[in-house]
């Protein structure tokens, strides 16, 4: 019995040592492969993420009242038509860029969604405050003035968060 233990104990120690070495080697190789895969995917994903940041920055800029009102012929429109046009533009821009949410963090996307909702609410609230006899030009002036005098706008806040996140890629 003691003779068997003399052979079994060293064999067990060698087996255990071999298992430990092989386990560490396998783990190290797995980590190397994962790191290499991540590095290769970053080469492809980083440009896509940067384009997404650019597109979302454009979305936030294009949905400010000043930008949306630039090309409108306000003399031929009513305040209700201007309001409808602004709401349509906001929704259209948002829908066009909704797929970009997969490239940004949940926090930034929430801020972009919040900016959209607050801009829609703002456009609607200013339209409701306007007297019925007001012109589209009066509505546009009131909208732009009120939007810029509220301090940091939701679009500005979301744009800053987007810039901060984009800086982490650079």
pLDDT digits (tens, 9 = 90+) for 104-150: 999 999 999 999 999 999 999 999 998 888 999 999 999 999 988 87
* Residue 145 vs residues 45, 63, 138, 151: alpha-carbon distances, Å: 40, 15, 11, 11
- pLDDT at residue 4 in the model: 81
Q: How far apart are CA 118 and CA 111, in angstroms?
A: 10
Predicted confidence band of residue 41 (pLDDT cuts 50, 70, 90): low
Which is nearest to 67 in space by CA: 51, 89, 47?
Answer: 89
pLDDT of residue 9: 85
Q: How confident is the model over 78-96, as pLDDT tens digits?
A: 999 999 999 999 999 999 9
End-to-end CA distance of the chain: 68
Predicted local confidence at residue 8, as pLDDT:
84
In three-state secondary structure terms, 114 is helix
- Quick one: average pLDDT of 146-157? 88
Which residue, 96, 141, 146, is CA-closest to 121?
146
Give me the pLDDT at residue 42, please: 67
d(C-alpha 145, C-alpha 92), whole Å: 24
- pLDDT of the residue at 7: 80
Looking at residue 55, its pLDDT comes to: 95
Percent of the chain whose pLDDT exceeds 70:
98
What is the CB-side half-sphere exposure of residue 88 using CA atoms within 13 A?
7
Contact 127, 65 (CB under 8 A): no
For residue 58, pLDDT over 70 is answered with yes
Give the pLDDT of residue 34.
86
- What number is the average pLDDT over the span 10-33? 90
Compute the mean pLDDT over every residue in the chain, rounded to the nearest whole number: 90
Decide: residue 138, CB within 10 A, 0-12 exposed, 13-18 middle, 19+ buried: middle
Query: Looking at the predicted structure, is the pLDDT value of residue 99 above 80?
Result: yes
């Amino acid at each position: 019995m003691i003779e068997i233990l003399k052979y079994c104990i060293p064999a067990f120690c060698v087996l255990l040592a071999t298992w430990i070495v092989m386990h560490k080697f396998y783990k190290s190789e797995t980590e190397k492969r994962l790191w290499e895969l991540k590095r290769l995917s970053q080469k492809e994903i980083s440009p896509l993420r940067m384009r997404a940041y650019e597109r979302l920055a454009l979305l936030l800029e294009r949905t400010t009242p000043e930008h949306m009102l630039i090309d409108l012929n306000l003399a031929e429109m009513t305040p209700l038509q201007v309001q409808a046009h602004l709401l349509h533009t906001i929704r259209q821009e948002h829908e066009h860029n909704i797929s970009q949410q997969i490239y940004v963090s949940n926090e930034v996307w929430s801020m972009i969604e919040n900016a959209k909702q607050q801009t829609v609410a703002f456009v609607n609230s200013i339209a409701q405050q306007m007297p019925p006899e007001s012109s589209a030009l009066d509505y546009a002036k009131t909208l732009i003035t009120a939007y810029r005098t509220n301090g940091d706008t939701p679009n500005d806040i979301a744009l800053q968060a987007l810039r901060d996140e984009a800086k982490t890629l650079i």
